[in-house]
Amino acid sequence: MSKDRNATLYDKTGAAFSFDHEHDGTLYVRPLVKVVMQSGYGDDVHEQEDFEPAGYLVARNSTDLFYAPPVAAVDAELAAKRAEIDALKAESKKVISDLNSRRLAAERELTSSKAQLDQWMQTHKGMIDLGKLLDGKILYPLSVDENRYHGARNIPHIPKMKDIGGLRVEGGDFEKGKEWRVKRYLSDSYHTSFQFFDTEEERSAVILSEFDATCAKFRERPNFDTTSYTTSTALHYGTLLEWVKVHPSLSIPEDIKAMKATNDAEFIERRKATLAAELAAIEKAGE
């Protein structure tokens, strides 16, 4: 057995002792006791665990102490460490799960708040635009509405600023519990609804988008008529020409132009065949 003072020895249970001295085959040792040391001040206090020899001696037979912990004790210590690690993992998993739940709840709340803000901005857009105008900001009006006959859009109209009479407001009566309401769209002196856009580019983008949608509607039921004087009740090629006339930045898509060219060529051929048949009928009648 070791004669080195303070050497660490272990019994069969895994308990640790610090060797003090030996007499007549009996070892006198001090049990190692756990001590907790603190460092720091105030709320910033750190704890550190250590083991120190006790202040008293115990006698043990030299055959009862060993240089290393017994296998069972080591296994028990490893199992305890694994359990501790598993507990830490479980706690970490729970903390992460809670944090993710809070993050998702915050994201849902943020999405809901953004939707409410967007709705509020749309509901009160007229008043917001009025505020911008009163601040001297230049806005760009545009009137776009759906054609109730063919389902596409009417040709967008750009109202003149001098014709813009004011906001469309529904009167309220607070004594009867009726609120004042601002319409989503403004109205000019001709009672034409319109919206303001912050930039000319935004307005132009809306005009282009509506024209693209109208062309898509045209492709569903192509009508190559250009002689009809009205574009308000029928969607035909003349309607698209009128769009381009009113808004020169637009151009009829190439595929629709090609469809028109094919239709015109077929019409000419049919007209030639009709005239040829009429001419043959006249010549036959003159014989």
Helix 254-286 with 200-220: angle, nearest 10 deg = 40
The total number of structural domains in the chain stands at: 3
Q: Quick check: is 1 in a domain?
A: no
**Domain region containing 177:** 127-277
Same domain, 161 and 195: yes
The beta-carbon contacts of 222-227 under 8 Å, at least 24 apart in sequence, are 222/256, 222/259, 222/263, 224/259, 224/260, 224/263, 224/264
Point out the domain boundary residue: 37, 53, 69: 69
Q: Quick check: is 271 in a domain?
A: yes
Same domain, 55 and 183: no
pLDDT, position 62:
81
pLDDT, position 163:
75
- Cα–Cα distance measured from residue 3 to residue 20, given in angstroms and rounded to the nearest whole number: 8
Same domain, 50 and 177: no
- Cα–Cα distance measured from residue 213 to residue 54, given in angstroms and rounded to the nearest whole number: 90
Q: Quick check: is 14 in a domain?
A: yes
Q: Quick check: is 284 in a domain?
A: no
Same domain, 201 and 92: no
- Cα–Cα distance measured from residue 33 to residue 12, given in angstroms and rounded to the nearest whole number: 17
The beta-carbon contacts of 163-170 under 8 Å, at least 24 apart in sequence, are 163/188, 163/189, 163/190, 164/188, 164/189, 164/194, 165/189, 167/126, 167/127, 167/130, 168/126, 168/193
Query: Mean pLDDT, 10 residues at a time, over the chain (287 residues)?
Result: 74 85 87 81 73 88 80 72 87 89 91 88 78 88 83 85 67 70 59 83 94 93 79 82 93 94 89 83 74
Same domain, 137 and 172: yes
Q: Quick check: is 287 in a domain?
A: no
Same domain, 158 and 249: yes
- Cα–Cα distance measured from residue 120 to residue 162, given in angstroms and rounded to the nearest whole number: 28
Same domain, 65 and 137: no
Q: Quick check: is 3 in a domain?
A: no
189, 163 contact by CB (below 8 A) = yes
Point out the domain boundary residue: 108, 123, 138: 123
Same domain, 20 and 150: no
Q: Quick check: is 246 in a domain?
A: yes
- Cα–Cα distance measured from residue 69 to residue 75, given in angstroms and rounded to the nearest whole number: 10
Same domain, 140 and 255: yes
Indicate the DSSP class of residue 18: E
Q: Quick check: is 102 in a domain?
A: yes
Same domain, 107 and 135: no
- Cα–Cα distance measured from residue 210 to residue 153, given in angstroms and rounded to the nearest whole number: 7
Residue 43's contacts (CB-CB under 8 Å, 6 or more residues apart) are none
Same domain, 27 and 117: no
pLDDT, position 186:
67
Give the 3-state secondary structure percentages of the chain, helix then strand then coil, rounded to 5.
Answer: 45, 20, 30
Same domain, 101 and 52: no
196, 139 contact by CB (below 8 A) = yes
Helix 71-123 with 125-134: angle, nearest 10 deg = 70
Encoding tokens for residue 189?
A: 């002196």
Residue tagged 């009163």 (tokens): 134
Point out the domain boundary residue: 49, 69, 89: 69
- Cα–Cα distance measured from residue 205 to residue 91, given in angstroms and rounded to the nearest whole number: 54
CA dihedral in degrees (38, 41, 43, 45; nearest 10)? -20
Nearest to 196 by CA among 168, 220, 176, 177: 168
